[in-house]
């Protein structure tokens, strides 16, 4: 068995311009769930946030740029068939997430998904542990960042969509393609995992 590396050079990079320049779709859509305007008017305001979300998923600048570029390409191509009455932001995030899941990094992350059901009851501690609460009160920004990086992708993405993007549970459901009940149970499990990570890191730092 032999393997070979693919080296992308400047010539291949230049194909990018051609790639966007040849096909024109329907550009203006009258009503996107109350939003209207050209693709650019609707999609570009989301650019920075989509990039941030992509970076958190891919954890790499080049991969995040690829992810965002592919997302915009797919969205642009599908804009004419975008269904009225659906949420444009959730649609863009869904494209980005699905693109990530079919990427090399995404396939790796989905292979590591826990088999534990989302619908299962979340076991909360019977009594609040005061030491944990005390530890969590000392959490710093860096600890939060590290904990987010350590979380499995399915937990990381739902926390980001809820806490950073401030999406409603319904929007999160549309983005992730899961029912509302699953959004709530997965979010609860994600936050529990986050608190456990934070407590562990804080405990290590305090020792």
Partner 1 sequence: MTCDQWRSKLDAYVDSVCSDEDLANLEAHFRTCASCAAEALTRLRIKRMTQNAAARYSPSPEFRLRIEESIQAKRKPGWTFAWRPAGMGMAAAAFAVGVLLVVALTLGIQHRERGQALAELVDLHVATLASANPVDVISTDRHTVKPWFQGKLPFTFNLPELQNSSFKLLGGKVTYFEHSPGAQLLFQIRSHQLSVFIFQDSSIFQNRQETLSGITTARELAFNVEAWSEGGLRYVVIGDASPTDVQELGELMRSAK
**Could you say which residues in the range 18-47 bind partner 1, by CB under 8 A?**
18-24, 27, 38-40, 44, 47
Among 68, 96, 153, 158, binds partner 1 (CB under 8 A): 68
- Rounded to whole angstroms, the Cα distance separating 175 from 90 reads 5
Does 124 sit near partner 1 (CB under 8 A)?
yes
Structure tokens at 31: 């009503």
Report, in Å, the least distance between residue 187 CB and partner 1: 6
Which of the residues 78 through 97 are near partner 1 (CB under 8 A)?
none
11/204 with CB nearer partner 1: 11
> How many DSSP H helices and E strands does the chain contain?
12, 2
Q: What is the DSSP string of 157-183?
A: HHHIIIIIS---HHHHHHHHT--HHHH
Q: What is the DSSP string of 52-119?
A: HHHHHHH-SHHHHHHHHHHHHHHHHHHGGGPPTTS-HHHHHHHHHHHHHHTSHHHHHHHHT---S-TT
Among 29, 42, 56, 182, binds partner 1 (CB under 8 A): 56
120/130 with CB nearer partner 1: 130
Among 46, 63, 90, 176, binds partner 1 (CB under 8 A): 63
Structure tokens at 137: 């009160």
Does 114 sit near partner 1 (CB under 8 A)?
no
Q: Are 176 and 97 in contact (CB under 8 A)?
A: yes
Report, in Å, the least distance between residue 136 CB and partner 1: 5
Does 203 sit near partner 1 (CB under 8 A)?
no
Contact string 130-169 vs partner 1 (x = CB under 8 A): x--x--xx-x-x--xx--x----------xx-xxx-x-xx
């Amino acid at each position: 068995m032999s393997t070979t590396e693919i080296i992308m050079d400047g010539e291949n990079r230049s194909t990018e311009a051609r790639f966007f320049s040849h096909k024109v779709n329907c550009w203006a859509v009258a009503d996107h769930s109350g939003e209207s305007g050209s693709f650019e008017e609707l999609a570009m305001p989301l650019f920075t946030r989509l990039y941030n979300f992509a970076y958190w998923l891919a954890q790499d600048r080049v991969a995040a740029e690829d992810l965002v570029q592919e997302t915009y390409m797919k969205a642009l191509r599908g804009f004419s068939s975008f269904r009225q009455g659906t949420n444009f932001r959730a649609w863009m995030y869904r494209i980005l997430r699905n693109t990530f899941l079919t990427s090399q990094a995404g396939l790796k992350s989905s292979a590591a998904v826990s088999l534990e059901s989302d619908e299962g009851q979340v076991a909360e501690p019977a009594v609040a542990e005061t030491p944990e609460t005390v530890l969590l009160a000392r959490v710093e920004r860096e600890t939060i960042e590290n904990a987010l990086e350590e979380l499995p992708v399915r937990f990381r993405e739902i926390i980001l969509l809820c806490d950073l993007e401030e999406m409603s549970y319904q929007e999160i459901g549309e983005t992730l393609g899961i029912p509302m009940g699953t959004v709530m149970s997965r979010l609860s499990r994600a936050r529990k995992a986050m608190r456990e990570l934070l407590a562990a890191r804080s405990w290590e730092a305090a020792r």
